[in-house]
Amino acid sequence: MKITFLGTGTSQGVPVIGCQCPVCQSTNPLDNRLRVSSWIEIGDKSLIIDMTPDFRYQMLRARVPRIDAVLITHEHRDHIGGLDDIRPYNFRQEQSINIYAQQRVCDEIVQAYQYIFKKSDYPGIPQLNLVPIAENLPFSLFDNQITIQPIPVMHGKLPILGYRIGDFAYLTDVKTIPESSFELLKGLKVLVTSALHQIEHHSHATLDEAIAIAQRINAKQTYFIHMSHYMGLHSEVSRQLPANIQFAYDMLSIGL
């Protein structure tokens, strides 16, 4: 398995439009963060987790050759805003692409992209198959080649999903994790989870809260994503992290 971080920033990205803070003005490329998304390669299969408003550029930058399936964590626009740009993959692969999400999220996608799901003879719309999944039941892809375990987490008061694939788990926009989900996260080699910044937030874990979550899960290696510009400069804040925890950055690739 290979994981490539397509974006590691918040809903505004970093730099934030018009911001003059040291992070947004930084010339260090590690301080530039597109909206949060990842590309998972397993054998010859290619999965995307979340499709951000930066999706088109992310695909071009990472040179993603094909998409076999998409996993959606929740319905906020920084996670579904790039769905229309899946069309070149439809055209090139000559097939529709499955989008896996909770039923509530599937319904929100239909509302947000009504023109895609209305009956139409227009051939240029994205070809998507929305596949509802249960919040805690594993499901399989590609004739049982890959098994995925949804991980329920809380984004403030909104229940959303992370995903576990083998010894790897991906959790974004986390504020808290139910006890039952900690059971699903035992024995990880790699954990990816979110850490917004140091300031208390109603729907995102702070850096200290994220460190506490990571230490409880106790994966061999943890990578933080979904950082805002308030986190501070990568070169400075990264030195404060425990030895087996680090900030991910755009276009970082890791293997399992």
Q: What is the pLDDT of residues 124-158, one digit of tens each?
A: 899 999 999 999 899 999 999 999 999 999 999 99
Contact predicate 185/152, CB 8 Å? no
pLDDT higher than threshold 80 for residue 120: no
- CA dist 208 and 184 (Å) reads 22
3-state secondary structure of 90: helix
pTM for this one?
0.95
- E strands within 115-227? 128-132, 139-141, 146-155, 158-165, 168-170, 190-194, 221-225
Q: How far apart are CA 229 and CA 233, in angstroms?
A: 8
Q: What would the mean pLDDT of 112-117 be, rounded to a whole number?
A: 92
For range 233-243, the mean pLDDT: 95
Instruction: Indicate whether 121 pLDDT > 90.
Output: no
Domains of the chain: 2-255 (3.60.15.10)
- 10 Å CB burial of residue 152 (0-12, 13-18, 19+) is middle
Confidence of residue 234 (pLDDT cuts 50, 70, 90): very high
How far is residue 52's CA from residue 59's CA, in Å, rounded to a whole number? 11
Question: Mean of the per-residue pLDDT values for the chain?
Answer: 96
pLDDT for the residue 206: 98
For residue 119, pLDDT beyond 80: no
Which is it for the CA torsion 99, 90, 40, 54, positive or negative? Answer: negative
